[in-house]
Chain A
Amino acid sequence: MLDHIVPTRVYYTIFAVLMLCTGLTVAIAFVDLGPFNIVAALVIAVFKAALVILFFMHVKYGSRLTWAVVVGSAFWLAILLVLTFSDYLTRVSLPFG
């Protein structure tokens, strides 16, 4: 009994919120928000992912080392996405494909 044991009540609450968000993301997809449809979809997905990481994956109660790896992987993913998009999405003419 050395670790922080998360009460099952927390898991059920997170599960309920995740289900609500799933319903919300489907409902929003059928409303025309123009360019904000994708923004809404991604905001909800990131929120859901954060809940899973923090509670189901215990990062909220994790060591600083765990936090460092989690934040680090998000940071490296950001490098991957930002540098790639800064090239491909700023080209004047559409190339191959």
Chain B
Amino acid sequence: MSPDATVEVHHPAALAHQFDSLEQQRDASTFGMWVFLATEVLFFGVLFATYAIYRAWYADAFAAASHELLIWAGATNTVVLITSSLTMALAVHAAQTGDRRRLMRFLVVTMVLGTAFLGIKAFEYYTGFREGHLPGPGFRFESTYFQHAQIFFSLYYLMTGLHALHMIIGIALMAVMLWLSWRGTITDEYYAPIEISGLYWHFVDIVWIFLFPLLYLIGRHA
């Protein structure tokens, strides 16, 4: 390569110095995000392993405790979250095609759906607290399963709580993406921030896809 100044001039504005091309730059961000998500898989994986062991040991108590959860709330939240994944995917599409107005609209819809999810979740927590589902001194449950139902509810609040924390971070991330889009930083050449925020959002959706049947749908036929 000759140290010709004109080579520099033809660099796309969005291309950082350390990358050869926009494509390489985007591959690097996608790769980094996936490696982060791999650590997240193991982070939640440990909780799912814990859940599986206790469910295998105390199957009846888990079924009885699961029946106390509001199935309509869990199902509605599943629909809300999958819909938000659709709008997120459409936001990435809008970014790729350089449609800024459409991108911002889909980001807002995704944030609204994420907030709706948290609202329904908060309502569930509220009714759960009132009925004495929170493990500890105030815990109330039929005497047969009193002890082991607390294990179910401990895992329920821990897993859905950590998931809700991820949702809050996701919504904050979308607010930043909205700001970047509004400022015009996001273009059809530089949309990696939208793409990898989308990867995060979809990952949080996948965690819920497993949480819903495992927590809400145990032995519902009984």
Q: For residue B163, give the distance in angstroms from its CB to the closest CB of chain A.
A: 14
Give Cα A29–Cα B203 distance, bound, in whole angstroms: 24
B7 located at the interface, meaning its Cβ lies under 8 Å from any Cβ of chain A in the complex? no
A97 touches B82 (CB 8 A): no
A57 touches B199 (CB 8 A): yes
Give Cα A73–Cα B56 distance, bound, in whole angstroms: 25
Q: For residue B75, give the distance in angstroms from its CB to the closest CB of chain A.
A: 6
B160 located at the interface, meaning its Cβ lies under 8 Å from any Cβ of chain A in the complex? no
B34 located at the interface, meaning its Cβ lies under 8 Å from any Cβ of chain A in the complex? yes
B214 touches A8 (CB 8 A): no
B165 located at the interface, meaning its Cβ lies under 8 Å from any Cβ of chain A in the complex? no
Task: Report chain B residues within 8 Å CB of A6.
Answer: 89, 93
Given contacts A52-B209, A81-B45, contact A29 B79 (CB under 8 A): no
Chain A window 40-61, contacts with chain B (Cβ cutoff 8 Å), 1 for yes, 0 for no: 0110110011001101111000
A5 touches B202 (CB 8 A): no
* 8 closest residue pairs by CB, A with B: A73-B38, A29-B217, A41-B213, A69-B34, A32-B221, A29-B220, A15-B86, A73-B41
10 contacts between A and B (CB under 8 A): A2-B21, A22-B82, A29-B213, A32-B222, A56-B86, A56-B89, A57-B202, A69-B37, A73-B34, A73-B42
A11 touches B90 (CB 8 A): yes
Within 8 A of A (CB), among B29-53: 30-31, 34-35, 37-38, 41-42, 45-46, 48-49, 52-53
A77 located at the interface, meaning its Cβ lies under 8 Å from any Cβ of chain B in the complex? yes
A residues apposed to B, CB below 8 Å: 1-3, 5-6, 8, 11-12, 14-15, 18-19, 22, 25-26, 29-32, 37, 41-42, 44-45, 48-49, 52-53, 55-58, 62-63, 65-66, 69-70, 72-74, 76-77, 80-81, 84-85, 88-89, 94, 97
- Which residue from A2, A22, A31, A72 sits with its C-beta under 8 Å from B22? A2
- Known pairs A5-B96, A45-B213, A56-B89. 11 more at Cβ < 8 A? A15-B83, A15-B85, A32-B221, A41-B214, A62-B30, A63-B27, A69-B31, A76-B42, A81-B52, A84-B49, A94-B57
B residues apposed to A, CB below 8 Å: 21-23, 26-27, 30-31, 34-35, 37-38, 41-42, 45-46, 48-49, 52-54, 56-58, 71, 75, 78-79, 82-83, 85-86, 88-90, 93, 96-97, 148, 151, 188, 195, 198-199, 202-203, 205-206, 209-210, 212-214, 217, 219-222
Q: For residue A32, give the distance in angstroms from its CB to the closest CB of chain B.
A: 4
B209 touches A48 (CB 8 A): yes
Task: Report chain B residues within 8 Å CB of A42.
Answer: 213
B205 touches A3 (CB 8 A): no
Task: Report chain B residues within 8 Å CB of A81.
Answer: 45, 48-49, 52
